[in-house]
Structure 1
Amino acid sequence: MPVKDLGLRRAAPALTVFAAVRLLGLAVLAGWGAAVGSSPHTLLSARWDSLWYARVAAGGYGYEVVLPNGDVHSNLAFFPLLPWLERLVGAATGFSYGSSGLVVSALAGLAAAWGIFAVADLLYGRRAGVLAVALWAALPVGIVQSMAYSEALFTALAAWALYAALRGGWLTAGLLAAAAGLTRPVGAAVVAAVWVAVAAALRDGERSRRMAAGAALAPLGAGAYVVWVGARTGGGPLGYLDVQAGWGNGFDGGWAFARFVGDRLASPAFAAGLGLVAGVALVLWLYVRCVRQRQPAPLLVYCGIVLALALCASGYFGSKPRLLLPAFPLLLPVAVALGRWRTRRAGLVLGAAALLSATYGAFWLNGSGPP
């Protein structure tokens, strides 16, 4: 891959666009909150998963809730890197852990935008890089990038790990993959991408101690946490899967999700069912476009695993759009296509998408269910 300048000056337009879209989302959320009497700070930092991460930061692992049906919601389901960073920021600033999570997500969001720009710029040029970041920021669930959730942090680690792997920075790629594995279960996708990049380099005759070290480092984060959970719960290698099962999560190849969609198609919520079918079809079509675009194998493997884990999980169907947020390679064909448009036309489309995203984000967070 060619060497490109990744200084702040080159990435500045992408980071500026990202910040502007995120500020728009926060402004609309604040206006919506003023109208309905909700607290944007609470919605972003002290509800749903944000509370679970803050509890881990405050008291470590061991907290659980037993539901009336006997299911156990354990905080062992939440990987530790975000709570560790919340604790670090809280100690440095005196902020609450929830507010510290907002700081982490704000910085991680910028790092993710920079990483997405770096990957797209490397492969398709600076204009495509800026547009890819704009598209990622303006996704319908883009507000999650500003929440005390782990998606922004994970995407930052994944994007820079992929960039390092494409450039042959094996130690960096391995370390970032290990960190991604300490952030979310889908860190396995980053590990697989690094290994695929290593395999391609080996096929081309490249061999080095750094490559071997990077490949060995990549799975250590996720592996260490899963082993630790297994030892703590007494469940052995499958202990973490048992914890996820307590939350109603599992991997069934998409059967439960298909039933969920089918139930809506056969009910008065028919329009919602059609929307889900259209959404899944769009995601799969974009992945096919990625293949036809001849994206590097590490990106295709990473994106394919993120899609499979999101679409084929058996629980929390309303969270699937959020789980797809790290699949940024899906946006690269769209970014390249938009790059052929005149700047004014592309700007109008992206501006409209950003406004719709901000409005939907405010509506979504003021709803009853978790994102």
Structure 2
Amino acid sequence: MTATEVAQQPDVRRAAAAAQVGVASAWTVRRVAVALTPALLYLGIREFGLLVLTWMSIKTRFPMGEALTSWDGQWYLGIAAGGYDNVPASLGDAFGRRSAETPLAFFPGYPKLINWLARPFGGTPNDRLFFAFAITIVAGVFCSYALVRIGRVVPGGSARAGVILVVLFAAAPMSIVLAMTYSEALFCAFAAWALVGVLERKWILAGLACAAAGLVRPTSAALVLAVGVAALVAVIQRKDGWRPWACGLLAPAGLLSYLGWVAAKTGSLTGYFTLQNQGWESHFDGGRATLRFIVDAMTHQLSVLEGVTVLVIMTAFVLLAIGLRTRLPWPLLLYAIGVLLMDVGSDGMMASKARLLLPAFVLLVPIALALAKRQTATTVLTLTGLVVITSWFGAYAVTVWSYAI
């Protein structure tokens, strides 16, 4: 080695070290960007939806704050403020009636969480309103990361499919409720992580998330079915030791606890279902009322909301057929079937059907898998169009439509 080469050695080492630092820095930035993508996409779509709602609110002269806290949102805020015994007297059921037991029709998970978080800050109405929105938004973000996992682990899945699934969920019809004081976002977060636990055989995660979902919405019955059967199959196949047993015991705990508490309060084992039937005419009828609604809607002049509701119901069944044909993991299909049966198979507020199908997000997996195989430009244009249309529809539903959603 010459003297000149020896002299150049420190410079070469410094250059190599600098290059390594640059590569490490670039990799760190890339990893952070990838890690934040689900949250940023979800929040971006929510923000766009709120901008459209702002525009619609101005056009219709319907206060935006009132739109975001309307209908069930008022009930949840009322329960958060005074518990089940001190809900504002102005709130009533679908017929404007009210009894001491009427508030029990709303599950406690979301309003109680609002109350617990707001209390240390004073528990004022503004505090409760802030945390109601905060829970909804944060829950949606947590749900988006679970959806990425689902999109990645299903057969034929990928990280790209997972990200697309997040966009499809955030832009689903009636996804406006994911920015309202409604409990859908919190439920969907727990449901998505419970299904991740099942698919990845993380049984304690599945059981705990399912139990928590059982305190948030009655739709958890479909989740309990899927998680419980999956745990039972694992037990029969002698997989994963004691964990499926624990999952099977945990999964129904939240739902059964609340239904049992309502039964004790009302003095009837079917107390919760009686309240739903008397206050909102919500009861299982095998789908007869939904079929009548579809036939009536298609043979008379349609409103925008009624037309989209019929389209969403029909699309849900098509997506279920596609999921069966493409052999999605059976726990996902069982959960989707349960949500469909509970929604379409029940009487009640027909205008709520599209909203109540929001937790059936697993039906969107085949679309995500298909779009993941398309060219980027095609996928982006398709998803952008969907976001624009559904953002307007959600804003229409809460500012123009005169009835409960």
TM-score by length of 1: 0.91
Q: Which residue of 2 aligns with 1:4?
A: none
Q: Which residue of 2 aligns with 1:262?
A: 295
SS of match in other structure, 1:302 = helix
Aligned to 1:297, which of 321, 324, 330? 330
Q: Which residue of 2 aligns with 1:356?
A: 389
Structure 2 unaligned segments of length 5 or more: list them.
1-30
Partner letter of residue 77 of structure 1?
A: A
Q: Which digits, 9 at most, give the CA deviation of each residue in 1:115-147, with x for residues without a partner?
A: 111111222110000001111111121111111
Supply the distance in 2 between the matched residues of 1:288 and 1:180 (Cα, whole angstroms). Answer: 26
Q: Which residue of 2 aligns with 1:282?
A: 315
SS of match in other structure, 1:341 = coil
1:153-192 aligned within 5 A: 153-192=186-225
1:1-371 aligned within 5 A: 10-45=34-69, 47-62=70-85, 63=87, 65=92, 74-94=102-122, 95-123=126-154, 124-235=157-268, 237-246=269-278, 247-269=280-302, 277-367=310-400, 368-371=402-405
Deviation of the 1:214 alpha carbon: 1.4
Q: Which residue of 1 aligns with 2:12?
A: none
Partner letter of residue 71 of structure 2?
A: W
Partner letter of residue 48 of structure 1?
A: W
Could you say which structure has the larger radius of gyration? 2
Counterparts in 2 of 1:223 and 1:34: CA distance versus 1, 3 Å: same
Supply the distance in 2 between the matched residues of 1:67 and 1:312 (Cα, whole angstroms). Answer: 19
Equivalent pair of 1:11/1:114 in contact (CA under 8 Å): no
* Higher mean displacement: 353-362 or 11-20: 11-20
Q: Which digits, 9 at most, give the CA deviation of each residue in 1:327-365, with x for residues without a partner?
A: 111111001111111111110111111111111111111
Supply the distance in 2 between the matched residues of 1:151 and 1:191 (Cα, whole angstroms). Answer: 17
Equivalent pair of 1:196/1:297 in contact (CA under 8 Å): no
Structure 1 unaligned segments of length 5 or more: list them.
1-6
Equivalent pair of 2:312/2:354 in contact (CA under 8 Å): no
Supply the distance in 2 between the matched residues of 1:135 and 1:66 (Cα, whole angstroms). Answer: 32
Deviation of the 1:13 alpha carbon: 1.9
Deviation of the 1:232 alpha carbon: 0.3
Deviation of the 1:263 alpha carbon: 2.6
Supply the distance in 2 between the matched residues of 1:90 and 1:241 (Cα, whole angstroms). Answer: 31
Counterparts in 2 of 1:292 and 1:232: CA distance versus 1, 3 Å: same
The alignment's C-alpha RMSD in Å is: 2.2
Equivalent pair of 1:306/1:326 in contact (CA under 8 Å): yes
Equivalent pair of 1:86/1:100 in contact (CA under 8 Å): yes
Supply the distance in 2 between the matched residues of 1:296 and 1:185 (Cα, whole angstroms). Answer: 23
Partner letter of residue 404 of structure 2?
A: P
Counterparts in 2 of 1:207 and 1:21: CA distance versus 1, 3 Å: closer
Equivalent pair of 2:313/2:354 in contact (CA under 8 Å): no
Deviation of the 1:89 alpha carbon: 2.6
Equivalent pair of 1:177/1:218 in contact (CA under 8 Å): yes
Q: Which digits, 9 at most, give the CA deviation of each residue in 1:221-259, with x for residues without a partner?
A: 010100100110111x21111111122110101111112
TM-score by length of 2: 0.84
Deviation of the 1:202 alpha carbon: 2.7
Partner letter of residue 369 of structure 1?
A: Y
Counterparts in 2 of 1:267 and 1:201: CA distance versus 1, 3 Å: same
Q: Which residue of 2 aligns with 1:3?
A: none
Q: Which residue of 1 aligns with 2:11?
A: none
**Identical counterparts, % of pairs:** 35
Supply the distance in 2 between the matched residues of 1:30 and 1:193 (Cα, whole angstroms). Answer: 39
Q: Which residue of 1 aligns with 2:4?
A: none
Supply the distance in 1 between the matched residues of 2:310 and 2:82 (Cα, whole angstroms). Answer: 41
Counterparts in 2 of 1:85 and 1:275: CA distance versus 1, 3 Å: closer
Supply the distance in 2 between the matched residues of 1:266 and 1:344 (Cα, whole angstroms). Answer: 39
Counterparts in 2 of 1:318 and 1:131: CA distance versus 1, 3 Å: same
Equivalent pair of 2:284/2:346 in contact (CA under 8 Å): yes
* Higher mean displacement: 259-268 or 82-91: 259-268
Deviation of the 1:269 alpha carbon: 3.7
Deviation of the 1:34 alpha carbon: 2.6
Counterparts in 2 of 1:34 and 1:98: CA distance versus 1, 3 Å: same
Equivalent pair of 1:299/1:329 in contact (CA under 8 Å): yes
Supply the distance in 2 between the matched residues of 1:69 and 1:147 (Cα, whole angstroms). Answer: 22
SS of match in other structure, 2:270 = helix
Supply the distance in 2 between the matched residues of 1:166 and 1:274 (Cα, whole angstroms). Answer: 35
Supply the distance in 1 between the matched residues of 2:127 and 2:117 (Cα, whole angstroms). Answer: 9
Partner letter of residue 179 of structure 2?
A: S
